[in-house]
Structure 1
Amino acid sequence: MKFSLEWLTYFLETDASVEEIADALNRIGHEVEGIDDPADRLEGFRVAEVLTAKPHPDADKLQVLTVDTGEGDPLTVVCGAPNARAGMKGVLGLPGAVVPANGMELRKSAIRGVESNGMMCSVRELELGDEHDGIIELPDDAPVGQSFAQYHDASPVFDVAITPNRPDCMGVAGIARDLAAAGLGTFKPVEVEAIAGDFACPVEIRTDDPEGCPAFYGRVMRGVDNTGPTPDWMKRRLVAAGQRPISPVVDITNYLMLAFGRPAHAYDLAKLSGPVVARRAKDGEKVEALNEKTYTLDPTMTVIADDNGVHDIAGIMGGEHSSVTEGTTDLLLEIAYFDPERIGVTGRKLGLASDARTRFERGVDPAFLDDGLAILTSLIQRICGGEASEVVRAGSPPAEPMVLSFDPALTARLGGVEIAEDRQRAILQSLDFEVADDWTVTVPLRRHDVEGPADLVEEVVRIHGLDKVESVALPRVEGVARPTATPLQMMERKVRRAAAARGLNEAVTWSFLPVADAEHFADGAQLWVLDNPISEDMKAMRPSLLPGLIGAAKRNADRGAPGARLFEVGRRYFRGADGASDEKPTLGVVLSGEKTPRGWQAGKAAAFDAFDAKAEAMALLDAAGAPVANLMVFGEAGDQFHPGQSATLRLGPKNVLARFGALHPATLKAFDMDGPVVAAEIYLDAIPMKKGASGFARAAYAPPALQAVKRDFAFLVPEGLAAGELLKAVRGADKKAIVDVRVFDVFAGQGVPEGRKSVALEVTLQPGEKSFTDEEIKAVSERIVAAAGKLDAELRG
């Protein structure tokens, strides 16, 4: 919410500086997001008088002006404005000044051979409005030579973030009331005088939807002149608040909303027919709103309508058909109280946001209907003239205030600060709370956020000053602090460090995906699809981490990166059988592009393959504490992977710990990615936890005292036998002596029988307390050959 210092001081009598006001706002919970001083932008612009105006000798549409700046000799300025003439006063931008609208720095320059020493400015060029038909014309009494910022009363503008629970501060008056309570000045309430009607209201006004619109007040105004200009003081305040002045009547309704947080609406009476009624919309009923869009309504929505149909989406936006124009002479003024929940639901259904909705769905002051209508009427009569009818009051707003019992000692217990009871009473009374002698507190109707004693504590502490609440350390138990991380958190930390140590770069991608991307990786699971997403590209909760990582790899490739090694630790989201959310901790890895760059030794660049993905999966599973020696390699990695270049890693047939491999060409096409791309996905929740407090305590490393022994074996095995099965069998031949087994050669062809292949293994034997004897090594070798023989493997040679 934006407002100028000049507007604030209309409601607040204060001598505080801009910095002091900003500090006070932050202190009482209204965060200042920025301060803009128009005087800084208008530096170098001053009031000037045009002494002479002659046609340019070489340009039909230009004039050569002689301009008095109040200092020294008059200046020559070339100007193309049609209203430039001798004797007028305007705004001159001197050389060195920067035009606010376009950032152009003014300089002395020759225009068609005539030197120009500045620029006479229009309203739009100084960002004071949209008019650009000519230069600014100032009154005859404007002092020549005065800074235009000073003449224009340019006032600093505050941009304040109002929290959703404070709708009473969505008007400048509410901000002023809070600052006065904080001791920054004296609040100046507006004295409202009721305006008696000159005639009976000719329009029937009623509410047929008392739940959605409990109160609907209105009156007719005749003989209104909407063709004149809005007063400068009002336009100045509206522009500071970010509003574009439109016409006097529209500007007055906007002024009421921004000054008092009270939206109102004016209808062109000539465009209405019959009674004006607040009612439920009919199913399929349509209305063209003031934003020139047509909305289809349903019976859950409240509207303002007449015999011809809907004219207003109640509390959100008026209709185009009955809008006020320059030719409007008779008005129907509406000021109502709408149910906040109904307004919020309607706005979300229609996807329609407005300043009025922002205030109504948070709750406006139900006690401000009569005063708001009186202020609105008074401003229209003062600016546009006209006579008003009697007020019609259909329904009644909530009028029963909340009464709370308050214990002042609660402030110290909940707020952590000692405040004298007299001071607490004064603070609450300064905010218009009525405090009885027995500390029974009556809450103002506009304070919808106050529901209990804790809220009163918040008010007292906020005005006393949040900065005065001391920081107090939590009590600490003697001795060494116990670890607070869960075993799963410890696992995530460990694999994150392990992945980074292996040269992978961590990525943090969105938890939301386009629906098509999510469905591609859903594998039949039921997705979570958001009803109100940030955008259509972020609508489904991710069922896999790989789509986000593939997208990140693609963005890197599109920007010329030769390769990407990415990993992410995060959650996958599914819908359980009972409809509850099911989040699964996961680690994803994507390798794309060049594995090694081209070079004179390696030749062309090498690409990643499925074995690279398997290596990452095995290493990270090992870091996570999984029993990698017992893992089984299965197929069925998923339709997203290449069927001949992918697999799953399992503990038993059903417990899938990871999947890895090359991505299927169809997946690469769906993500517009050039291959090959390999990936791995590790399901951290499927890894069995070790017994113990955390499961990740590492034993002290003790290097073996004796040197290891290595032996090579070459086996002829069936062509379809997976090397992993052979490794597992050999490793199990002597679990005490054999500490490592790895494949170092695979051969098929000449010398190898058809249907067979040769697999060469390197077996590492580690002695314990004494060295192996030849007989012991021979016995282990025989057990290895026997274990391999169970898989139809025979020792080659």
Structure 2
Amino acid sequence: MKFSENWLRELVEVKADRAALAHALTMAGLEVEELTVLGEGLAGVVVAEIIAAEKHPEADRLQVCKVDTGRGELLQIVCGAPNARVGIKVPLATVGANLPGGMAIKAAKLRGVESFGMLCSAKELGIDNDASGLLELPAEATVGQSLADYLGLPDASIELKLTPNRPDCLGLVGLAHDVAALFGSTVKVPAQADITVTSEARRGIRLEAGADAPRYLGRIVEGIDPAARTPLWLAERLRRAGLRPISAVVDITNYVMLELGQPMHAFDNDKLQGDIVVRHARAGETLKLLDGSEAKLDAGFVLIADEHHPLAVAGVMGGFDSRVTDATQHIFLESAHFAPAAIMGRARKLGMHTDASHRFERGVDPELPRRALERATELLLSIAGGKAGPVLIAENLADLPPPAAVILRRARLKRVLGVDVADVEVVRIFTALGMKVESLADGWRITAPSSRFDIEREEDLIEEVARIFGYDNIPTYTPAGALTLAIEPEGRLNELAVREQLAARGYYEAVNLSFVSMELLTQWGFSEHLVPLLNPLSADLAVMRPSLLPGLIEALRHNSARQQERVRLFELARVFGETETPSLAIVASGAARAEQWGEPARMLDFHDLKGDLDALIAWGGEPQRWSVHADGLPSWLHPGRAARVARDGGTVGYLGALHPQLARALDLGPDVHVLELALEPLLARRLPRALPVPRYPSVRRDIAMDLPEEVSWVQVEHAVRGSLGGLLKELRLFDRYSGKGVEAGRKSLAMGLILQDASRTLTDVDADQCVGEAVAALEKACKARLRG
């Protein structure tokens, strides 16, 4: 937000110099990013008129001018400006003046011709960066008048670095409320003139964008003077706010935006057909904008259109074909309220940033459109003439944000700030900020004006008191208090323990952004329950990650491309879908072991990563609750070298090699293996419990079962444990055989059954019965046969 200091001081009395004002604004959270002093050192610079101009006899680019300074005699000035001509009024630095750049003006001879002063550009005077020619002043400027007095100088151009939660200060009147609160003064709001309706020109307005555009106002002004010039005072305020004057109509809408904070737009009314329609853009719709660019739109954009064509991208920029030109005599003034979410990111999507989008993205007071429309009409009639039609209003009141009161407790205010703020000062602060204050027994009920979108909770009110009361007035204390030692729950592992375990196994922790590109997710096959961002930083960071693996694999690719042959990475973070879920992911590639001499080199395989998973599971103390299965795999895993990980029968993650097609698409080798698990099941730990040493011995029985190749060990273990219950203390697989003596498509598994009863010694009969039950269960569930 850039503005003229003198303009601000017209709106609110500031009993402080420029430096104190800048310091107070910064300390109140409205950081002064840049302050440029304008027009100091202009003593001796006056308004002059060129009466005659002749070509210099010795220089093609110089002219010898006769200049009237209002003192009865003409001065001779040699000037090289391309726009120097008879009849214009310009600044003249007389002999003895010292310009802001340090130039001392003296009488001199230029190519043999005497010159008694210098005609100046805006840059030479230090009031603008324009050095293209002389600063041309309006014809009504008084010859001989001090230029500083005529232009209202000295002044300063102040630029604020506002935080996104303070859109109310993107208008001078809103900023004036903060300044009034800081300096104990009141805001002098410009008086609103009564606009006399002298035309019956109307145009229908239809709202078809729902809550995205709940209020739209317009007015037709007929018969304006297209040649009307912007008054000097208004043009100077625009320049000092960083805007170049363009034409009377455009300058007025920009002025109202700077003054009140309400962006406006003016259309050439003769180029509109039928009603104004506020609607969403249609897929593939295009619009040529004011800057000449072609905007390609989608349904996310809100459009201002007529019955046949789009006219403007709402809250961003107007269209080229309906623009106001030097021939426009009838205009349609627009003043509307758009929901911030409907405008957010739209300008960036079009590759631009406009003053209107900057304000609408942050939020504009929904009550401003009528006030701004009346103010713009007042200025337009006084500058360009014309006949004003009635105000045309379309609104959906249910979609406008209602005012909400927030309670501020006196005790809470003191506790947070650490200092007593007098009740009368609290009331003064909120009243000066334009808020409605109602006193309660233990505090206040505060209703913020519609411009203060940031006031939502008690902490917001405390912040207002703190910054206006002054952070310098809040004492500094050394923190004191007792620390409470946190007790780690025994039924849950600490995340740090998981990190340490993985680091001990040779993995490095990675930290990736929570956003990924839609293109990358499409490569992986993620398409359901995605969470796109409304206002992404870039197209490559447009979606919240549904999995940690795409980001980790990109990190692995980055390392591999830099000659890292053996990469081991893990990440503990959240993924986003239907819910927000803490997850653990591992990626690995290269050799199974770091280079060494003790054993032959081999590439990483499924079982290496499975071993790392088993080590993590063992920390929980309940490995029997975990299992792996070959079914239900996602499309990004290799069907023959991957597994689904389950706990208590429910899927918690996946493990295995990347699918060859995906690996090729990502330019990876076939040795990349991945693991992703929901973190919480992994952190669950069995509570330690002391048990007496068994009094009775265990019994072991070995059996060998012939069963189909496709039957997994998990199925075998489930069948045996289900049949023997608590008598089975341990089941050990000690041999697997296929080949001679075993049918094709079958295998032989030899296992040891460790049996034990806590109440008695098991007999041979008991053991044989257990073996029989286990064999029967395997025959039924796994199509197994007992081998002799």
| Structure 1 length-normalised TM | 0.62
Compared with structure 1, are the counterparts of its residues 690 and 246 closer, same or farther at alpha carbon in structure 2 (3 Å cutoff)?
same
Structure 2 partner of 1:388 = 386
Runs of 5+ consecutive residues of structure 1 not aligned to the other structure? 64-80, 92-98, 100-119, 143-150, 575-580, 700-712, 762-782
Q: Residues 586 and 684 of structure 1 are in contact (CA less than 8 Å); yes or no, is this contact kept in structure 2?
A: yes
Amino acid at match of 2:609: A
Structure 2 partner of 1:766 = none
Compared with structure 1, are the counterparts of its residues 24 and 402 closer, same or farther at alpha carbon in structure 2 (3 Å cutoff)?
farther
5 Å matches for 1:501-512?
A: 501-512=504-515
Q: CA deviation at 1:614?
A: 2.0
**Distance in 1 separating the partners of 2:595 and 2:456:** 70
The one of 581, 585, 588 equivalent to 2:585 is: 588
**Distance in 1 separating the partners of 2:580 and 2:741:** 51
Structure 1 partner of 2:237 = 234
Amino acid at match of 1:388: G
Q: CA deviation at 1:181?
A: 0.8
The one of 551, 554, 558 equivalent to 2:561 is: 558
Structure 2 partner of 1:609 = 605
Amino acid at match of 1:622: A
Q: CA deviation at 1:589?
A: 0.7
- SS of residue in 2 equivalent to 1:552: helix
Amino acid at match of 2:468: I
- SS of residue in 2 equivalent to 1:591: strand
**Distance in 2 separating the partners of 1:698 and 1:467:** 58
Is structure 2 residue 429 aligned with structure 1 residue 431? no
**Distance in 2 separating the partners of 1:127 and 1:752:** 101
Compared with structure 1, are the counterparts of its residues 221 and 468 closer, same or farther at alpha carbon in structure 2 (3 Å cutoff)?
farther
Q: Residues 278 and 304 of structure 1 are in contact (CA less than 8 Å); yes or no, is this contact kept in structure 2?
A: yes
Q: CA deviation at 1:425?
A: 3.3
- SS of residue in 1 equivalent to 2:608: helix
5 Å matches for 1:22-41?
A: 24-25=24-25, 27-28=27-28, 30-32=29-31, 35-37=33-35
Q: Deviations over 1:557-615 (max 9, x none)?
A: 234433321101233445xxxxxx24443311101245566689989x75433232122
Q: Deviations over 1:43-70 (max 9, x none)?
A: xxxx9xxxx99999xxxx999xxxxxxx
Is structure 2 residue 628 aligned with structure 1 residue 628? no
Q: CA deviation at 1:286?
A: 7.4
Amino acid at match of 1:494: A
**Distance in 1 separating the partners of 2:57 and 2:588:** 74
Structure 2 partner of 1:328 = 327
**Distance in 2 separating the partners of 1:740 and 1:610:** 23
Q: Residues 415 and 461 of structure 1 are in contact (CA less than 8 Å); yes or no, is this contact kept in structure 2?
A: no
Amino acid at match of 1:661: G
Q: Deviations over 1:507-528 (max 9, x none)?
A: 22344444565466669x9433
Q: Residues 290 and 320 of structure 2 are in contact (CA less than 8 Å); yes or no, is this contact kept in structure 1?
A: yes
Compared with structure 1, are the counterparts of its residues 217 and 420 closer, same or farther at alpha carbon in structure 2 (3 Å cutoff)?
farther
**Distance in 2 separating the partners of 1:254 and 1:178:** 22
Structure 2 partner of 1:256 = 256
**Distance in 1 separating the partners of 2:599 and 2:297:** 66
**Distance in 2 separating the partners of 1:633 and 1:500:** 24
Structure 1 partner of 2:661 = 666
Q: CA deviation at 1:261?
A: 0.7
**Distance in 2 separating the partners of 1:467 and 1:527:** 49
Structure 2 partner of 1:290 = 290
Q: Residues 512 and 552 of structure 2 are in contact (CA less than 8 Å); yes or no, is this contact kept in structure 1?
A: yes
Amino acid at match of 2:365: V
The one of 483, 487, 490 equivalent to 2:487 is: 483
Compared with structure 1, are the counterparts of its residues 89 and 747 closer, same or farther at alpha carbon in structure 2 (3 Å cutoff)?
farther
Number of aligned residues: 654
Structure 2 partner of 1:412 = 411
Q: Residues 216 and 335 of structure 1 are in contact (CA less than 8 Å); yes or no, is this contact kept in structure 2?
A: yes
Structure 2 partner of 1:194 = 193
Compared with structure 1, are the counterparts of its residues 499 and 388 closer, same or farther at alpha carbon in structure 2 (3 Å cutoff)?
same
Is structure 2 residue 680 aligned with structure 1 residue 679? no
**Distance in 1 separating the partners of 2:235 and 2:506:** 65
5 Å matches for 1:508-519?
A: 508-515=511-518, 517-518=520-521
Q: Residues 200 and 390 of structure 1 are in contact (CA less than 8 Å); yes or no, is this contact kept in structure 2?
A: yes
**Distance in 2 separating the partners of 1:589 and 1:666:** 20
**Distance in 2 separating the partners of 1:339 and 1:139:** 38
Structure 2 partner of 1:69 = none
Q: Deviations over 1:729-748 (max 9, x none)?
A: 9xx99x99x999999x9999
Q: Residues 219 and 392 of structure 1 are in contact (CA less than 8 Å); yes or no, is this contact kept in structure 2?
A: no
Q: Residues 4 and 158 of structure 1 are in contact (CA less than 8 Å); yes or no, is this contact kept in structure 2?
A: no
Q: Deviations over 1:263-289 (max 9, x none)?
A: 22223355456x7x5445599697644
Compared with structure 1, are the counterparts of its residues 222 and 676 closer, same or farther at alpha carbon in structure 2 (3 Å cutoff)?
same
**Distance in 2 separating the partners of 1:310 and 1:35:** 38
Q: Residues 706 and 742 of structure 2 are in contact (CA less than 8 Å); yes or no, is this contact kept in structure 1?
A: no
Compared with structure 1, are the counterparts of its residues 213 and 437 closer, same or farther at alpha carbon in structure 2 (3 Å cutoff)?
closer
Compared with structure 1, are the counterparts of its residues 232 and 311 closer, same or farther at alpha carbon in structure 2 (3 Å cutoff)?
closer
**Distance in 2 separating the partners of 1:793 and 1:247:** 98
Q: Residues 586 and 682 of structure 1 are in contact (CA less than 8 Å); yes or no, is this contact kept in structure 2?
A: yes
Q: Deviations over 1:662-686 (max 9, x none)?
A: 3232221232323421222334344
Structure 2 partner of 1:570 = 573
| Structure 2 length-normalised TM | 0.62
Compared with structure 1, are the counterparts of its residues 753 and 359 closer, same or farther at alpha carbon in structure 2 (3 Å cutoff)?
closer
The one of 624, 636, 642 equivalent to 2:638 is: 642
Compared with structure 1, are the counterparts of its residues 474 and 793 closer, same or farther at alpha carbon in structure 2 (3 Å cutoff)?
farther
Q: Deviations over 1:60-100 (max 9, x none)?
A: x999xxxxxxxxxxxxxxxxx995999x9999xxxxxxx9x
**Distance in 2 separating the partners of 1:502 and 1:533:** 40
Structure 1 partner of 2:147 = none
Amino acid at match of 1:464: F
Q: Deviations over 1:178-237 (max 9, x none)?
A: 122122x7456254463766x933733555559944643453352232678977623432
Q: Deviations over 1:721-775 (max 9, x none)?
A: 999899999xx99x99x999999x99999x99999999999xxxxxxxxxxxxxx
Q: Residues 405 and 441 of structure 1 are in contact (CA less than 8 Å); yes or no, is this contact kept in structure 2?
A: yes
Structure 1 partner of 2:367 = 366
Amino acid at match of 1:386: A
Compared with structure 1, are the counterparts of its residues 442 and 619 closer, same or farther at alpha carbon in structure 2 (3 Å cutoff)?
closer
**Distance in 2 separating the partners of 1:299 and 1:582:** 25
5 Å matches for 1:24-103?
A: 24-25=24-25, 27-28=27-28, 30-32=29-31, 35-37=33-35, 83=82
5 Å matches for 1:757-796?
A: none
- SS of residue in 2 equivalent to 1:642: strand
Compared with structure 1, are the counterparts of its residues 391 and 536 closer, same or farther at alpha carbon in structure 2 (3 Å cutoff)?
same
**Distance in 1 separating the partners of 2:394 and 2:656:** 69
Q: CA deviation at 1:387?
A: 2.0
Q: CA deviation at 1:5?
A: 4.6
- SS of residue in 2 equivalent to 1:219: strand
Q: CA deviation at 1:320?
A: 2.0
Q: Deviations over 1:157-192 (max 9, x none)?
A: 3222241xx543221231122122122x74562544
Q: Residues 641 and 664 of structure 1 are in contact (CA less than 8 Å); yes or no, is this contact kept in structure 2?
A: yes
- SS of residue in 2 equivalent to 1:620: helix
- SS of residue in 2 equivalent to 1:527: coil
Q: Residues 337 and 366 of structure 2 are in contact (CA less than 8 Å); yes or no, is this contact kept in structure 1?
A: no
Structure 2 partner of 1:117 = none
Q: Residues 215 and 396 of structure 1 are in contact (CA less than 8 Å); yes or no, is this contact kept in structure 2?
A: yes
5 Å matches for 1:119-198?
A: 135=132, 137=134, 155-163=157-165, 166-183=166-183, 186=185, 189=188, 191-192=190-191, 194=193
Compared with structure 1, are the counterparts of its residues 465 and 521 closer, same or farther at alpha carbon in structure 2 (3 Å cutoff)?
same
- SS of residue in 2 equivalent to 1:222: coil
Q: Residues 512 and 542 of structure 1 are in contact (CA less than 8 Å); yes or no, is this contact kept in structure 2?
A: yes
Q: Residues 14 and 186 of structure 1 are in contact (CA less than 8 Å); yes or no, is this contact kept in structure 2?
A: yes
Q: Residues 215 and 394 of structure 1 are in contact (CA less than 8 Å); yes or no, is this contact kept in structure 2?
A: yes
RMSD across aligned positions (CA): 6.5
